[in-house]
Structure 1
Amino acid sequence: MSIKLTPRQKEVLNLIQEIIHKTGIPPTRAELAQSLGFKSPNAAEDHIRALHKKGALLLSPGASRGIRLNPDFFENNTVLNQTTPIADKNIPSSEKSTTHHASVRHTLVKTVNKVSDFIKDTRLTLPVIGRVAAGYPIDAIEHQEQALQLDPALFSDQPDYLLKVKGESMKNIGILDGDLLAVKKTSHVRNGQIVIARIEDEVTVKRFQRSGKVIELLPENEDFQPIIVDGSQSFAIEGIAVGLIRSTALH
């Protein structure tokens, strides 16, 4: 079954495909609008919604880069292999088709390169922190295993580093062993936030809860017990979680 797209919808979908293929991440509405000459991101949003309704795109609500291609659509449709030639009575039909293809391709390549360069320029370079040695700051150079370039739109706030998660104490909220937790350095936290805390020489990821002078670090796994911070212990908040990179996305 073939689902008919308008010429403009084909153009938008082709551009999204090219950008994802070249950069590995989808464009934002604003990037699409600028690339296609729309006056505002709302115009791009209208086309995205139409493509979503026709099954070409999958959308993640609330994410600025929450556009994904629907593989089922491309398996079942040949619509993207079809083109609509620009009418010109002075050019033979075969030449019109070739000229149109070349023009569209040239424009598309220029647009993709422009958006790709913009995305690369705005990416964050974040160190990946592995095992944390006693007596050293958590983001000390000795702990850095590698660095990753990531889109800032992946995070709720700008992180300072990525911490490799060890253990299953937070698995009920989707923080799994081997995942990378994006961390913003701060000592100011609110009840309920996911924090990176240091107790003596151990670093742990838990949910923060304070009641009066009592501080609890709560796991999100019934197999683990809450940690009640003893006033005699050395204790510090290293930062808060502002995002997560699933370990499966790194391979």
Structure 2
Amino acid sequence: MLKLTARQEQILNLIREAIENTGFPPTRAEIASELGFRSANAAEEHLQALARKGAIEISPGTSRGIRLLDMSGNGNNGSVRFGGHQMSLPHPSIMQLSLPLIGRVAAGSPILANEHVEANYRVDPSLFSAKPDYLLKVRGLSMRDIGILDGDLLAVKKSDTAKNGQIVVARLGDEVTVKRYKKTGSLIELLPENPDFEPIRVDSGDESFALEGLAVGLLRSWH
């Protein structure tokens, strides 16, 4: 990989931090705002330069279509450099996770109840920002503008707490929903990423509300 400029390193760190904190990369507008650029176009130019240098991969057509790539560029076929030493990795089949796919969730029952499991998938753990516990089939288009679409498989790490800005899976009475989390005092807002949908507001003491987990990645079938 070609050497990065100081600004490119800064943007790469910003992308990495966003993925670690929220499970998703930032939008061009968020990068521009964070770094004081006048427009999202300036951020796009830096992202294209990072892609040309092999630091990231850009998926066209989505505002958050940015994926970090292996920075070593050594094509090591099953080994990784760590602390200056080369270590052998286990066979990929050993490293794979087996994750249950959760379909429709029955009212009042745990999200990981056996009757909700439609299938089990073996997946590469390196696809995710943190180790997930299950995959949830996304229904609807309320998160369309950050690239989470109907039928996608959202990788979820079980958690009953979240930070502002994270994408969460929440239970509201009989429904399970995917939204962006925001808490101000005792008010919790579950924010859509599609202007056709309204935010959901609940009190943190509402017994019908519960956090089920944090989004840590996304899988999509192209057929």
TM-score > 0.5, shorter chain as reference: yes
Do the aligned residues in 1 keep the contact of 2:134 with 2:155 (CA within 8 Å)?
yes
Identical columns (%): 57
Q: Which residue of structure 2 lines up, in the alignment, with residue 199 of structure 1?
A: 172
Q: Which residue of structure 1 lines up, in the alignment, with residue 106 of structure 2?
A: 133
Alignment pair present for 1:174 and 2:147:
yes
CA 1:59–1:204: 2 relative to 1, 3 Å: closer
Alignment pair present for 1:234 and 2:208:
yes
List per-residue Cα deviations over 1:207-248 (Å, max 9, x = no partner): 000011111000000000000115545110000000000132
- Within 2, Cα distance between the matches of 1:132 and 1:65? 40
- Within 1, Cα distance between the matches of 2:190 and 2:105? 19
Letter in 1 for 2:127: L
**Superposition map of 1:30-109 within 5 A:** 60=57, 62-64=68-70
- Within 2, Cα distance between the matches of 1:120 and 1:128? 19
Q: Which residue of structure 2 lines up, in the alignment, with residue 87 of structure 1?
A: none
Q: Which residue of structure 2 lines up, in the alignment, with residue 95 of structure 1?
A: none
- Within 1, Cα distance between the matches of 2:189 and 2:55? 40
- Within 2, Cα distance between the matches of 1:65 and 1:144? 36
| Aligned residue-pair number | 150
- Within 2, Cα distance between the matches of 1:218 and 1:224? 9
Do the aligned residues in 2 keep the contact of 1:65 with 1:153 (CA within 8 Å)?
no
> Which is higher, the Rg of structure 1 or of structure 2?
1
List per-residue Cα deviations over 1:160-191 (Å, max 9, x = no partner): 00000000000000000000000000112000
Q: SS at 2:68's partner residue? A: coil
Q: Which has the higher helix share?
A: 1
Higher relative contact order, structure no. (Cα contacts within 8 Å, ≥ 6 residues apart): 2
Identify which of 192, 213, 216 aligns with 1:219. 192
Unaligned residue ranges in structure 2 (runs of 5+): 1-51, 58-66, 80-87
List per-residue Cα deviations over 1:106-163 (Å, max 9, x = no partner): xx9xx9xxx9970000000001100111111111110011011110000000000000
Do the aligned residues in 2 keep the contact of 1:64 with 1:153 (CA within 8 Å)?
no
- Within 2, Cα distance between the matches of 1:117 and 1:173? 34
- Within 1, Cα distance between the matches of 2:219 and 2:56? 19
Letter in 2 for 1:126: L
List per-residue Cα deviations over 1:68-97 (Å, max 9, x = no partner): xxxxxxxxxxxxxxxxxxxxxxxxxxxxxx
Letter in 1 for 2:162: V
CA RMSD of aligned residues (A): 2.7
Do the aligned residues in 1 keep the contact of 2:55 with 2:68 (CA within 8 Å)?
no
Instruction: Give the superposition deviation at 1:63.
Output: 2.9
- Within 2, Cα distance between the matches of 1:162 and 1:66? 30
Identify which of 116, 119, 142 aligns with 2:115. 142
List per-residue Cα deviations over 1:36-72 (Å, max 9, x = no partner): xxxxxxxxxxxxxxxx88xxx99636234999xxxxx
- Within 2, Cα distance between the matches of 1:246 and 1:65? 24
- Within 1, Cα distance between the matches of 2:153 and 2:167? 14
Q: Which residue of structure 1 lines up, in the alignment, with residue 127 of structure 2?
A: 154
